[in-house]
Amino acid sequence: MKGTLPFALFLLCAVLLHAQKFDMRIEGGATFGQIEGDASAGFRHVGYQFAVGTSFPMGALRGQVLLGMVNKGSYIERDIYRTISLHYVELSFLMGKRTAFLPRLAWTVGVSPAILARASVRDLGEYNQIMSDNYRRMDPLPITVLIAYDMATHWQAYVRWSLSLLSVSKERVGTYMISTSNTGQFNHIVNIGIAYNLFNV
């Protein structure tokens, strides 16, 4: 993680310097998550997400790079009342465009690889060290879909959906997200937030 975060910052700066027209943004909001494959149901884990980034032209589309923190996880009510809280450093690579029928509405799709900063699993409120150590250091391939709406000058509201395509647990079973019967564990979140565009050049 020590080497990856400086590289992510360097990559973000390189994108800024290379882009001819870009904007800077700060965004943040709440996440509602579950982990597919851990017997939970519903997006019952409430967490956070915040990031800084930029967007820039890519032909007819617009690219977006974001660096931030996101809290994923799950809440399992069956018998153990287990809370899984996974804190990630996330670097998103997205591209999209504004819709023709509603110019204030924009969509983006891409991937958001993430490095695990801290994992906390609690059963009935008690910290579970063994289960907390059961998660991989990376969530390498979450697909991301984001829809944003211009509320006012500089301000946007957004909804983001993200699903891991590779298992985030250390078990060797169920590595790939192929079907709902897969026995791996896959982060699945819905994120609602507000973004502020600092400037446009």
For the chain, percent of residues with pLDDT exceeding 70: 79
Higher pLDDT, 54 or 139: 139
Question: Is 92 within 8 Å of 108 (Cβ atoms)?
Answer: no
Q: Is 28 helix (H, G, I), strand (E, B) or coil?
A: strand
Residue ranges of alpha helices (H) inside the chain are 4-18, 129-132
CA angle 132, 142, 74 (to 5 degrees): 40
- Choose among 61, 107, 70: nearest CA to 91: 70
Residue in the structure block whose two tokens are 């301000």: 155
What are the tokens at 111? 């991937």
Question: Is 30 within 8 Å of 43 (Cβ atoms)?
Answer: no
pTM score: 0.84
Q: Where are the domains of the chain?
A: 4-200
Task: Return the amino acid letter for 24.
Answer: M
Average pLDDT over the chain, rounded to whole?
84
Question: Is 138 within 8 Å of 116 (Cβ atoms)?
Answer: yes
Interval 73-89: pLDDT, tens: 999 887 678 899 999 99
pLDDT at 181: 47
The hierarchical CATH code for the domain 4-200 is 2.40.160.20
